[in-house]
Amino acid sequence: MSEHLLQKKVTDTFQTRFHEAPAMVVRAPGRVNLIGEHTDYNDGFVLPVAVDRAAWLAIGPRDDSWATVRALDMRNDEKTFPVDRTPSSGGGWSDYPQGVVWALLEQGFAPGGINGVLSSDVPVGAGMSSSAAVEVAFAYAWDQLGGFGMKLSDLALLCQKAENQYVGVNCGIMDQMISACGRAGHAMMLDTRTLERAYFSMPAGIAVVVADSTVRRKLSGSEYNVRRAQCEQAVSILKERFPDITALRDVTPQQLDRFQTDLPEIVYRRARHVVTENNRVLQVARDLFEGRMNHAGQLLLEGHRSLRDDYEVSIPELDTLVQAASEVEGCYGARLTGAGFGGCIIAIADEAAVPDIEARLDEVYDAVYGKQPTVYVTLPDNGVARVA
C-alpha cells in the first residue's frame, strides 16, 4: 500500500471511530542495517538506513487521562490504558505505546490522554524494527501534543528505555535512533557510546534489496538476551587484564586473541564477532564514501559468516538467501540484517541486477523450502515527522 493510502487509512478510520478529524498524523520509519549487528549494546558502531516502510499514527487529544488506540494491522484490536500512571503490561502490541507512557512519566513528563489509530507496513518480526517505529511514532506524537520540546536523540533514548525496562528486550539504541534521525538518501553511522552521527550518501545506481525469509522470531523470547549476557561476561573477564575497558567497543582484536584462553570458548566467539564487526562498520562507511562497492560487499559477506559461525544467530533459511543473492552478477554482497533468528537479509547491488536477484531468490527458496521470500527494494528515507 502506498504511503498516501496508509495516511488516508489511519485518518479515515480515526474520523469514523472517534467522530472527529485527528489533530495530527505522524510517520516513523523502520530500518535495515547495512552492517554492525549486535554491536550497539556493546557501545560500538552501526550503519543503518531508515526505509520507506513506516508506522503511521493518527492521533488526537482527549480531556481525561486515558489513551484509546486501535491497531488496524492487529485485526482492529483496540486497547485503552491510563497515561497518568504506569499501565499494566499485557504482553502484546500495546506494550510499546504503554512503555512510552511509562518512560515519559519516569522522565518527569505528563503525557496527555489521546485517541489514536495505528497502522504499519513494516513487517513484524522481520528484523526491520517494527517495534521501534511504533515507539518513536507515539513518543513523537506525545512530545508534539505536550510541547515537551525533546530533541530527537533524547526521544530515541526514551524509546530505548521503554523497550529495555518496560517491554523487557535489552536492545541497543540503533533502532530507535535511526527511526528518529534517519536522512533520505543516506546511511547513518552511529557511535552508540557518544551518539555522534555521521551521514554517508548511498552511491548512485546502488539498490538495497531486502528479502524476508518469512520466518518470524520474538526477541523477548529468544536468545537475544543470552548473547548480551555473554558479551558482558567477556568484558568482566577481560577487565581483569585491561581495567580501562567498559565494553567490547574498547577491546582490540589483538587483545582479544592474546587472552583468548581466559574466556570460555563460546564467550570468546561472541566477543570475536563484536570486535571484528566494529571494524567492518568503519570500513564499509569509508567504502561508501569512496565508492568501493566490491570491497563493501565482501565485508557484508564476511559479517554474515561471523553472525552465522561466531554469534550463531543465523538460520538455514537466511544462509540460503544470502548464498543465492551473492551468486548473482551485479550483487556486491549480502547478509542477514537485524538480530537474527529469522527475519530478513539485505543485498547491495547494481539497480540493473535487481530483477535477476529477485528471480534467483524466488527460484532457490522455492526449491529448498517450498515457498517464496517477500522481496522488495528499499530507499533510504527520513526519520520521524509530522505529515499532517
**Which active-site residues does the annotation give?**
175
343: left (phi over 0), alpha (psi -120 to 50) or beta: left
SS3 176: helix
CB count within 10 Å of CB 379 equals: 14
Of 31, 115, 108, nearest in space to 66 by CA:
115
CA distances from 43 to 36, 220, 244, 248, 341 (A): 11, 21, 14, 7, 22
Q: Helix, strand, coil: what percent of the chain each, to 5?
A: 45, 20, 35
Helix (H, G, I), strand (E, B) or coil at 372: coil
Q: Assign residue 165 a region: left if phi > 0, alpha if psi is -120 to 50, beta otherwise?
A: alpha
DSSP line for 241-299: T-TT--SGGG--HHHHHHTGGGS-HHHHHHHHHHHHHHHHHHHHHHHHHHT-HHHHHHH
CB environment 87-126: b (16+ within 10 A), e (fewer): beeeeebbbbbbbbbbbbbeeebebbbbbbbbbbbbbebb
> What is the identity of the amino acid at 81?
F
Could you give the CA distance from residue 32 to residue 343 in angstroms, rounded to a whole number? Answer: 11
Per-residue DSSP letters for 336-359?
EESSSSSSEEEEEEEGGGHHHHHH
Confirm if 134 and 28 have CB atoms less than 8 A apart.
Answer: yes
Q: How far apart are CA 258 and CA 41, in angstroms?
A: 24
